Chains A and B, each alone.
Chain A
């Protein structure tokens, strides 16, 4: 159980002189407060042994994190320690959230900390979260995390990310992760979902070339919706187009969600009736 793996060298805590002042408490879950009362290097050492007994025990790791914070301990060496434990017992480590929490803590203090970034990348690769697979949703989320917390959403970065994403969509059109990322990036574009000409002409080009991915059609519906709300509807993006697209999804391209697309369609019907009655009202006023 000791670090060296040499069981003969293991000295139980009750036989260690420096632990003479601690009264052991029988396992009763009531022993936990002993661990939280005062943080010390000693306790950090204790959690290390607890981790080795059962690395899957979430609470022990949380205590370590609390102790480290209270002591102002070195998060980087903790990351190295985690890495070592994971390498020893990969089977017990299905949960990458601890790694991501700790690197998140470290990056909050020092966004340019190379070691933390490197460790984050390592953890993501180890847990299979980060691959070159464009369908990997977590890889897209990691990309979002980096731009959001590290590079920032300047106009040029927004454009760069849009171009990157459109390239990937061109390659695999039916990849929801990439379409969702595109929506995420456009949240940072002042012109919104419908106002970026590069995006709208890319989508219309795909549509013209017979692409009928449900993500493309759904995106076009949302462009119509936003254009209508802004009063910027045009020959391509309007109520009728949106309803046509809803019908195509409900009846042909996305049948599992047919009820949903019919529901979305009714919203456009309502919108159309409302705008017509407004128009009639306006006409009457003119008369």
Chain B
């Protein structure tokens, strides 16, 4: 196998995570925020897989865990989008600044 070092994978994961975090914290469009959260989850998945291959005790657990995360993330995205759609129907907007009905 080619010898791509673990640090490269980790750096990729870090970059992805930071992009995701940036998007989740700054974007006003809720759809983009959700996409950013997906990015962060995928960054984590990369980490999991990396460590399952290059970790101190390499085993299959990490990859299984990544699959697990992906399925949970899918479910989460479905629920999130469903809530978003119903919110959109009610408020005619996807702007996150206006979604503070729990506060008021």
Q: Do A and B come from one complex?
A: no
